[in-house]
Chains A and B, each alone.
Chain A
Amino acid sequence: MTTEAAEPANAAADVLVTEAESAEPDRATSDVVSVEPDRATLTRRLPRLNLGLDRFSGLYVWTLIILVFGIWLPDTFLTSYNFQIIAGDQAITAMLALGLIIPLAAGVFDLSCAATLGFAVTVVTWLLKEGFNPVLAILITLACGAFIGFVNGLVVVRLNVDSFIGTLGMSSILAAGAYWVTNGEQIVNTFSKSFLDAGSTRLWGVSLPFYYMLLLAAILYVIVDHTPVGRYLYAAGGNPQAARLAGMRVGRVVWGSLITSATLAALTGVILAAKLGSASQDVGPPYLLQAFSAVFLGSTQIKAGRMNVLGTLVAIYLLATGVKGLQLGGSPSYVNSLFNGLALIIAVALAARTYRRK
């Protein structure tokens, strides 16, 4: 990009021009052009080389995990079937985590996201059982999600309740709601074939929710990284007071982020319902820790120090690959929780260390 292109427009604010530059404008601008890119690339590139190990450590560890299990269990682990399973199994967790990035980037917790997911599963199932048109049922469920997010925002922004507490409370309310909808029983056999197909059909060996997740990830990536929305989110999360004094409506940003995460959680719930083919009131909560782990672990990757889409995906599949390998190697089932918990704590501790050194 030419640095002098917009010069005339801003010439009025040209402040600290040295004698030499003002005397010989031509030479001065040509100096700027020739010197600027060198310096800019130098200062940019050097730290990036050093940081590479930290920012991409997840990718290296992921490769290592695949290598280790590939050598150990070539027949079961190193099969395309296995990777198709891993990809498909994690789609729901990944979608929930992707939605969670938004409020966490804006500096607020949404602890009710997993409960919203579970509630949405029960709502959409019940609506279909009552004979609603599937499209209408899905829209109503999404509207429920948006409303939950709206109430979260009301509590956090207007009533000034700490988001950790406010959404934890909402989470409990939604658990009650899910029980109320299902009456504590499992709802089965309510879905049309096309609805079920949307959740379980395989494309290139991987079930459809994986592709929904990729689509969502792509959309969120563009929104967070390539539109002003990401700026609002990170500014509000980075220093809300400074964001406010820079003319940003931080309350609205936070409110919007909570509506987004709850709506996306409801969307994830619809897909989970299609995948499961049934609903019970306790399907949501187990996803909570996994989704949070993924986002926090992801914030140490790719764009270190920030909740980000690509990092979150790396984190999810890194963890899932490790767990899958251990299971195939014959480890007991509790290893899942153990591995997830350890990986989160170690990863965040490492990130905190690199952060301090900076």
Chain B
Amino acid sequence: MVATPVLCVRRLSKTFPGQRALADVDLDVEPGEIRALVGQNGCGKSTLIKALAGFHEPDAGSEVTVAGKPLAFGDPTSADAAGLRFVHQDLGLVAALDAVDNLALGHGYETGRLGLIRWRRERARAREALQELGYEFEISRPVGGLAASERTAVAVARALSRHSTPPRVLVLDEPTANLPAAEADRLFALVRSVRDAGVAVIFVSHHLEEVFGLCDTVTVLRDGRLVTTRPTAGLTESDLVELMIGRRLAQYDVPPAETAHQGDVVLDVRGLATAVLGGLDLSVRAGEVVGFAGITGSGREELALALFGGRPRTGVVTIGDRTVPQLRPDLAVQYGMGLVPAERHANAAFLDADLQENVVVASPAAFARRGLLRRGRERSDVARWLERLNVRPSGTQRAMSTLSGGNQQKVVLARWLRRQPHVLVLDEPTQGVDVGAKAEIHALVDQAAADGAAVVVVSTDHDELARLCGRVLVLAGGRVVAELHHADLHADRITAAAVGHTLRSAS
């Protein structure tokens, strides 16, 4: 392509007190290009995006031009006027409002005489904007009730539609972090259609297959510096990982050793049923890691919480020889179950509390004597666990909110590992987690199993399931439709089974 770059970043630096978050980053993005921006958490991606969006004012000497015109720093309005548009990971939608209202949040309503909203026109435009992105759904439903990719479409439509200037650059910040695989495909079609309209797209993602499947070029940041920008063609996944983390991943990449003899059945489930799940039977032995896959609506999303008793269910769940009644997570914990739930911020993290409290919350009285806490002992115990799980930055008194997603997830894991659970249930354990932390979390799961826990992993990341599990059950329509064992455990086979092609083992 011989196009001139629409976005030129030169010597972009940003220094926070005591920390240089970005150092002399150069970036050129051309119209009609999908550029991946990758790097581990803390590499400067977010700072770069926030600097572009006008939330951070970069250091003196930084220059950004959009379509040849210099961008005024520290001013979100001028970024918008220059044609820079952003869709953040949380999308920024109001769940209780419908698509029309959410679109209007971006640009206001069109009003007729008397200042009344011209609803018919608004609805037609909303429908049209979504159709251009390849989406057609009932726009009067609250967006909270839409599928995840439909919500993303609403956010993208809002970013692109009806500003005073046309969009030139669309920045998507981890748009797939909370998206099931099948819906991610719809999103990619959407991103391509945006690109084809001549907009430059910057796509931030932790999923390397997305980088290769969707993006034309990739920019890698590490420790606030530009590592490289190059075409994705000719690059392999392990090359890219090496560029991101600055070392080979091989040390983590070894599949877990086959456990020679497995222990007794620790978790026994008979006829587990919820609104979607229809009568699931399951036995997991000590030391075994069992995975669950399935597309959205297969029952996969409900499984972990149902097992733990966090949502209404029927059926019998037994840990050892004790039956856990439904809706009693406290008893599940008492009997030795631990849950790392999906959607960490809503379900697991106490963001304002310190790391110590986040860890000890599952056993608040573990170090108490005569009813009084012994904080010193507790602190050194927690500090040891944070050290062991390589939580960075460490420090038991640090607020949870100051940690990156991967490190928060390790803190949640520490909460349970510290209790040496008999049963460990993990729901999307590496959602929104960078590559390095992901490998570490996988190693921790291996170790928990080696220590005798019965582990259940529910994930949409099929590489993860293949990496962790000795056995993967595939759900569809609330039932197990396939069971894959060692020889069959490959991400592609899991995916194939999940989307409905029953794949019989060749061997």
Contact = CB atoms under 8 A, between A and B. Distances in A.
Interface in A249-298: 249
**Of residues B341, B373, B396, which shows the largest number of chain A Cβ atoms within 10 Å of its Cβ?**
B373
Contacts of A249: 330
Given A32-B387, A226-B373, A246-B333, A44 B397 contact: yes
Contact of A246 (B351, B362, B381): B362
B215 interface: no
A248 interface: yes
A1 B374 CA distance: 11
Interface in B383-436: 383-384, 387-390, 393-399, 401, 415, 417-418, 420
Given A227-B372, A228-B373, A231-B357, A242 B364 contact: no
Nearest to B379: A1
- State the 8 A-B residue pairs at the shortest beta-carbon distance, nearest first: A247-B333, A43-B395, A231-B364, A1-B380, A228-B365, A228-B364, A15-B447, A238-B350
B394 A43 contact: yes
Contacts of B365: 228, 231
B347 A3 contact: no
Interface string B181-202: 0000000000000000000000
29 contacts: A2-B380, A3-B380, A5-B380, A6-B381, A10-B384, A12-B420, A12-B451, A13-B420, A13-B451, A15-B389, A15-B443, A32-B387, A39-B395, A40-B396, A43-B398, A227-B368, A227-B373, A228-B371, A232-B364, A235-B350, A238-B352, A239-B349, A242-B347, A242-B348, A245-B341, A246-B329, A246-B362, A246-B415, A305-B352
Given A40-B396, A43-B394, A3 B383 contact: yes
A358 B354 CA distance: 14
A259 B39 CA distance: 51
Given A15-B389, A32-B387, A227-B373, 5 more contacts: A3-B380, A12-B452, A13-B420, A238-B352, A242-B350
B440 interface: yes
A13 B348 contact: no
A43 B397 contact: yes
B252 to A, nearest CB: 10
A243 B361 contact: yes
A244 interface: yes
A162 interface: no
Contact of B361 (A10, A231, A241): A231
A242 B390 contact: no
B360 interface: yes
Interface of A: 1-3, 5-6, 10, 12-16, 32, 36, 39-40, 43-44, 222, 226-228, 231-232, 234-235, 238-239, 241-249, 305-306, 358
The A interface, classified by DSSP as helix, strand, loop or mixed, is helix
B447 A247 contact: no
Given A44-B397, A244-B310, A228 B381 contact: no
B121 interface: no
A247 B330 contact: yes
Contacts, number: 127
B360 A231 contact: yes
B131 interface: no
Contacts of B390: 16
Contacts of A245: 305, 308, 310, 329, 339, 341, 347-348
Given A3-B380, A231-B360, A248-B361, A13 B448 contact: yes
B112 interface: no
Contacts of A36: 383, 387
A354 to B, nearest CB: 13
A16 B388 contact: yes
Contacts of A5: 380
B322 interface: no
B346 interface: yes
For B350, B376, B401, the residue with the greatest tally of chain A CB atoms inside 10 Å of its CB is: B350
B353 A244 contact: no
Interface string B103-138: 000000000000000000000000000000000000
B53 interface: no
Interface string B441-457: 00110011001100000
A235 B359 CA distance: 11
